[in-house]
A and B are shown apart, each in its own frame.
Chain A
Amino acid sequence: MKWEMAAPRDKYAETLISLAKEGKDIVVLDADLSSSTRTARFGKEFPERFFNAGIAEQNMMGVAAGLATTGKTVFASTFAVFATGRAYDQIRQSVAHPRLNVKIVATHAGITVGGDGASHQIIEDIALMTALPGMTVISPVDIHETEKAVRELADMDGPAYMRLSRSAMPVVTDENAPFEIGKGSVLRKGDDVSIIATGIMVSRAIEAAEELKEKGISASVVNISTIKPIDRPLIVSEAKRTGAVVTAEEHNVIGGLGYAVASVISEEYPVPVKMVGIEDTFGESGSPGELLEKYGLTAAHIMVAAEDALRMKR
């Protein structure tokens, strides 16, 4: 399929600028990656609302927390690996436990980082962040959801983590489609199997559904952009309707979307769940396309999983 491609990080910066222009009391922090995360564009327009913390992510999270204690909404950005890995304890102690209004918007999540290799390809950020009590975790599917999510984050109270890709992502939703934190959306309705995906894997799920159709299999495609709190009713209704589920994510199969979906299903309406994700291994250097292929994140992999799930169906 041919997709229109657009980079969520560009949309992130653009949205921040709009918010400040609209008079929102936001502050943006970065840690010497503002040209990559695009927050530099915000800093250029609103220098008094932007602080570059230098290569010091732990302090950046703490400063964000302190700013937030005074009622400001703080966006803190850097690469996902440094935001959630290097500064995990700072997020836990200074942001999450005191429930402060810090929105961590990290770019370069997952293996599609590409050439920089394993040191920069975080595949466990969703696991780390969803495990924190009270943390909202968002993985938008495209630029439109990115914009809507940033706007909602600016309005919601409490800490949140949003992961964005380095690469441009297929535009799969409509600019005017409704968006709400905590709500997933059914992009294709099918009867035999439900493919529940997040981020870049949603477009691949759609491609897989198209091909499954040729084989006479009718597949639903569900976009889950809020990993936490997860849309339990939607997941349960899919399990009830199709009786077989596949999850797909650019994340370790451990502790990501698959685990979240499986836990809902096992508690509320047990049906087979097959997970497509990175099989508990670190990445490596390569082009995003090569890496997605090698680590099992393609439409073909989703199709195989869907057929497996169908076979397990009773």
Chain B
Amino acid sequence: MKNYTDETVRMIAEKARIMRRDIVQMIYTAGSGHPGGSLSATDIIASLYFHVMRHRPQEPNWPDRDRFVLSKGHAAPALYAALAESGYFPVEELLNLRKIGHMLQGHPSMKTTPGVDMSTGSLGQGLSAAIGMALAGRMDRKDYMVYAILGDGEIEEGQIWEAAMFAAHYKVDNLVAFLDKNGLQIDGPTDAVMCSEPLADKWIAFGWHVIEIDGHDIPQILDAIAEAKAIKEKPVMIIAHTVKGKGVSFMENVVGFHGKAPNDEQYRQAIREIGLGEIGVMK
């Protein structure tokens, strides 16, 4: 059952486009950061922040809010873009990413940035924290949901599988996790560095309900979340097939853009491709 309109899909797609512009510009301005994994997760994060999640940008610590844990914390620029575009802080603040004395840390820091629900950056840890938040919601009889995004390299960490067991054992069903399956990590393709296939089978074997989607197709993202929320007594993993660097032609599927800022020329081309101008200099 479709619980959104075509207009909603168009709105989310537009927000995602704005976020991509923000991501490229903030990383270029900072001179460092992780564009590839930020761009692959953008459509999922846009769907969450601009349609799915119940949250109050004016009241970041609202106890009944849905939570979001960016377990693959290096994609912080995507989260920061969603937070800024939601109104947690001014969009101009994005240009202070990674600068001393400013709120946007290289990796998410919950005590530094309004709207960040969990500090992450050391891979493999966010899923556990998301489970803790979900357990607390259940204990307190609150109906909030917890969303998390994991990288397909990140899941090589043993703690992920400890968390996988735990969530299934305790039937944590107010948690929806996404696996950003962009096929790349730092040293190369995940299949070459450390193959984790068959991935869906692994999560199923660990007791999770698994849904596979195209992580850039907004209706598929929304439908999967709706399906996930209806699943009871089981945690849900949405395996999202994505393209690392999505939306910037020369970054797509390029391992080298995992953690590298574009140079001047690349930056101009990326901004041209996205076609929205720059922050502060709108087109």
- Which A residues have a C-beta under 8 Å from some C-beta of B? 27, 48-49, 51, 53-54, 56, 58-72, 74, 89-90, 92-94, 97-99
Contacts and interface: CB of A to CB of B under 8 A. Distances in A.
Contacts of B127: 62
- Among A54, A71, A93, A97, the one with the most B-chain Cβ atoms within 10 Å of its Cβ is A93
B129 A63 contact: yes
A90 B67 CA distance: 20
B196 interface: no
Nearest to A67: B132
B162 A56 contact: yes
B119 A27 contact: no
Interface in B127-183: 127-137, 139-140, 158-159, 162-163, 165-166, 169-170
B110 interface: yes
Interface in B74-99: none
B220 interface: no
Contacts of A71: 63
Contacts of B163: 56, 59, 62-63
Contacts of B158: 58
Interface of B: 63, 67, 69, 109-111, 117-122, 124-137, 139-140, 158-159, 162-163, 165-166, 169-170
A223 B227 CA distance: 59
B135 A97 contact: no
Contacts of B117: 69
A69 B133 contact: yes
Contacts of B135: 27, 51, 63, 66-67
A97 B119 contact: yes
B128 A63 contact: yes
B128 A54 contact: no
A67 B169 CA distance: 17
Given A27-B139, A72-B136, A94-B119, 6 more contacts: A58-B128, A62-B163, A63-B129, A65-B118, A66-B136, A69-B67
Contacts of B140: 70
Contact of B129 (A49, A89, A94): A94
Nearest to A66: B132
27 contacts: A27-B135, A27-B136, A48-B139, A54-B165, A58-B128, A59-B162, A59-B163, A62-B126, A62-B127, A62-B129, A62-B131, A62-B159, A64-B132, A66-B118, A66-B128, A66-B130, A66-B132, A67-B132, A69-B132, A70-B140, A89-B122, A90-B125, A93-B122, A93-B125, A94-B122, A98-B109, A98-B111
Contacts of A51: 135, 170
A72 B139 CA distance: 10
Given A93-B122, A98-B110, A65 B128 contact: yes
B147 to A, nearest CB: 13
B137 A70 contact: yes
Contacts of B109: 97-98
B4 to A, nearest CB: 29
Contact of A93 (B69, B119, B137): B119
A257 B130 CA distance: 36
B129 A70 contact: no
Nearest to A61: B128
A70 B61 CA distance: 9
B166 A63 contact: yes
- Among A61, A62, A68, the one with the most B-chain Cβ atoms within 10 Å of its Cβ is A62
A94 B125 contact: yes
Contacts of A66: 69, 118, 128-136
A89 B126 CA distance: 13
B143 to A, nearest CB: 14
Contacts of B121: 93
A99 B273 CA distance: 42
- Among B63, B128, B135, the one with the most A-chain Cβ atoms within 10 Å of its Cβ is B128
Contacts of B119: 93-94, 97-98
Nearest to B138: A48
B74 to A, nearest CB: 13
Contacts of A72: 136, 139
- Among B69, B119, B120, B130, the one with the most A-chain Cβ atoms within 10 Å of its Cβ is B119
Contacts of B162: 53-54, 56, 58-59
Contacts of A58: 124-125, 128, 158-159, 162
Contacts of A53: 162, 166
Contacts of B136: 27, 66-67, 69-70, 72
Contacts of A69: 67, 110, 117-118, 129, 132-133, 136
**Across the A-B interface, the 9 shortest Cβ-Cβ residue pairs:** A66-B132, A62-B128, A56-B162, A59-B162, A66-B129, A70-B136, A67-B132, A63-B132, A98-B119
B134 to A, nearest CB: 8
A70 B128 contact: no
Contacts of A93: 119-122, 125
Nearest to A57: B162
Contacts of B122: 89, 92-94
B165 A56 contact: yes
A64 B135 CA distance: 10
Contacts of A62: 125-129, 131-132, 159, 163
Contacts of A56: 159, 162-163, 165-166
Contacts of A63: 128-129, 131-132, 135, 163, 166
- Among B118, B127, B136, B137, the one with the most A-chain Cβ atoms within 10 Å of its Cβ is B136
